[in-house]
């Protein structure tokens, strides 16, 4: 027996689940294949990874009618403070001067995914195939034929459109024969959380120092999510620090703007690379989320960019349905690639450029002058704010907070 879907999404992470939700109110049947059962255990704030969702991401989730479910779990970022340790440059961006309710929103990834999964379970046309894995996929007579292993049995599925949202190592991307370009930053992100003794006042901080950067994001209960990015030559030093020494080092680099750091959570390491896929689509096949591109976390853009990809693809699929066109029409995916090219290139160049500017000791003076200049020239700051918010250029309906 064969189970039939219009769309199969491989991977029920943030990208796969968000795309499924964007399509949930349509007549399309969507299967999500995920090897791990939804994690529904609650973690303490000090023990879980967070994500900063931009103002643009909020609008997209408003369009999907799920933002109000997120709201109780997210912490707004009212301002961002950027500085360079031991140098004069500093800039601060405020939500008010950007005419935004907040510059972004910090949420635990596990919480976002739990709420997405709960919402998806209320739609009859969305099916979770989990725990399960695609063993084999082939395009036969304009349909993808899949063998999927579930509970030690193998089942046959078929679908019109196949989406790989199965993460940076995307097994489906390899099956589809799509290549990636990689640039190794020779840097590692150390992710953790700290407890403060002072209020963070809903401010996020980015502080650069010789050999790295510290990003602090406000979370509830005076906790801050911490991402320390260090050059790999310094990694063994940072890794070797005890919790107390790690906290003292953070405090030394960051200073006492936020009072004394009281407690630190466990630390997780992420090697940092820029990964891009020259071809993000093949016949009746699309790469989505980390499977399509991975950016350095310095500007918190990676998933926010993916969400804009998702908004555009979902809108194009709905437009095709509404105009009686097939969702397998090759021009649809060609148009999707064209429409996404500019935003993807701009966001990748912006993030990559920040790494270059802030990693180079030779650029310390110009970058400090630039930060000071930025602080004094409001239109430039507005432009930077729009970059961060993901609200530059032509926006999809979802990105304008409208349903599709
Ligand atoms: C330190 C750090 C900080 C970050 N901060 C931010 C931020 O503030 N803002 C932002 O926008 N982005 C941020 N990012 C990026 C963001 O975390 C990712 O873009 C996002 O999590 C990617 O989601 P995804 O669903 O594409 O991939 P994943 O989260 O990797 O999900 C992939 C899914 O596929 C499943 N899977 C794996 N193998 C298979 C298989 N064989 N078959 C089926 N499914 C499979 C996995 O179980 C998982 O559920 C950060 C990244 C890092 C490393």
Q: List per-block mean pLDDT (blocks of 10 residues) for the chain, which spans 404 residues.
A: 93 97 97 83 67 94 97 95 73 85 94 95 96 96 96 96 97 96 96 94 91 92 93 96 96 92 94 97 98 93 96 97 95 97 93 75 57 55 64 79 83
Query: What angle, rounded to 10 degrees, do the helices at 330-359 and 378-389 form?
Result: 130
Output phi, psi for 346, to 5 deg.
Answer: -65, -45
Q: What is the pLDDT of residue 366?
A: 57
Output phi, psi for 359, to 5 deg.
Answer: -90, -20
Ligand 1 atom at minimal distance to the Cα of residue 305: 11
Helix, strand, coil % over all residues of the chain, rounded to 5: 40, 30, 30
Nearest CA to ligand 1 atom 19: 303
Q: What is the CA radius of gyration of the chain?
A: 22
Cα(379)–Cα(248) distance, integer angstroms: 38
Mutate which of 15, 131, 188 for ligand 1? The one with the most ligand atoms within 8 Å of its CB, which is 15
- Cα-Cα-Cα-Cα dihedral sign, residues 221, 49, 66, 202: positive
Ligand 1 atom at minimal distance to the Cα of residue 165: 26
User: Which residues line the pocket of ligand 1, CB cutoff 6 A?
Assistant: 10-16, 33-36, 51-52, 133-134, 165-167, 171, 189, 191, 227, 270, 289-290, 297, 300-304, 306
β-bridge partners, 264: 194
Q: Hey, what domains does the chain have and what are their CATH numbers?
A: 2-75+106-182+274-369+377-400 (3.50.50.60)
Closest CA to 237 of 207, 270, 212: 212
Q: What is the pLDDT of residue 89?
A: 63
Nearest CA to ligand 1 atom 49: 13
148's enclosing H/E stretch is strand 143-150
Q: What is the pLDDT of residue 44?
A: 62
Do residues 269 and 234 lie in contact, with contact meaning Cβ atoms separated by under 8 Å? no
Q: What is the pLDDT of residue 337?
A: 97
Cα(188)–Cα(234) distance, integer angstroms: 9
Cα(131)–Cα(39) distance, integer angstroms: 12
Q: What is the pLDDT of residue 353?
A: 84
Q: What is the pLDDT of residue 172?
A: 97
Cα(365)–Cα(358) distance, integer angstroms: 11
Residue given tokens 């029920």 in the structure block: 12
Torsion, CA 227, CA 233, CA 234, CA 236, rounded to 10: 100
The structure tokens listed for 261 are 């750091």
């Amino acid at each position: 027996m064969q189970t039939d879907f219009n769309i199969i999404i491989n991977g029920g992470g943030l990208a796969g689940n968000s795309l499924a939700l964007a399509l949930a109110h349509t007549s399309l049947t969507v299967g999500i294949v995920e090897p791990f059962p939804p994690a529904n255990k609650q973690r303490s704030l000090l023990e879980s990874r967070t994500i900063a969702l931009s103002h643009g991401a909020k609008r997209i989730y408003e369009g999907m009618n799920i933002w109000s479910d997120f709201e109780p779990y997210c912490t707004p970022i009212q301002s961002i403070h950027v500085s360079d340790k031991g140098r004069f440059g500093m800039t601060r961006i405020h939500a008010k001067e950007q005419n935004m309710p907040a510059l972004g929103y910090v949420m635990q990834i596990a919480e976002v995914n739990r709420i997405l999964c709960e919402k998806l379970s209320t739609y009859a046309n969305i099916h979770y195939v989990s725990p399960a894995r695609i063993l084999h996929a082939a395009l036969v007579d304009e349909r993808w034929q899949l063998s999927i292993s579930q509970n030690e049995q193998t089942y046959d599925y078929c679908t019109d459109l196949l989406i790989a949202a199965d993460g940076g190592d995307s097994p489906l991307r390899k099956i589809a024969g799509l290549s990636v370009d990689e640039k190794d930053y020779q840097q590692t992100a150390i992710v953790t959380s700290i407890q403060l003794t002072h209020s963070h006042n809903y401010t996020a901080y980015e502080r650069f120092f010789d050999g790295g950067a510290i990003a602090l994001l406000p979370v509830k209960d005076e906790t801050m999510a911490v991402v320390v990015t260090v050059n790999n030559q310094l990694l063994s030093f940072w890794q070797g620090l005890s919790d107390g020494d790690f906290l003292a080092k953070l405090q030394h680099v960051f200073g006492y703007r936020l009072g004394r750091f009281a407690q630190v959570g466990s630390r997780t390491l992420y090697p940092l690379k820029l990964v891009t896929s020259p071809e993000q689509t093949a016949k009746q096949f699309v790469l989505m989320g980390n499977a399509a591109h991975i950016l350095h976390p310095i500007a918190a853009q990676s998933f926010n960019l993916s969400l804009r990809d998702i908004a555009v693809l979902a809108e194009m699929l709905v437009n095709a349905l509404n105009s009686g066109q097939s969702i397998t029409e090759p021009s649809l995916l060609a148009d999707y690639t064209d429409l996404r090219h500019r935003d993807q290139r701009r966001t990748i160049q912006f993030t990559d450029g920040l790494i270059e500017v802030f990693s180079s000791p030779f650029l310390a003076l110009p970058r400090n002058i630039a930060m000071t200049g930025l602080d004094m020239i409001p239109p430039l700051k507005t432009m930077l704010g729009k970059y961060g918010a993901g609200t530059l250029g032509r926006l999809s309906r979802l990105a304008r907070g409208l349903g599709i």
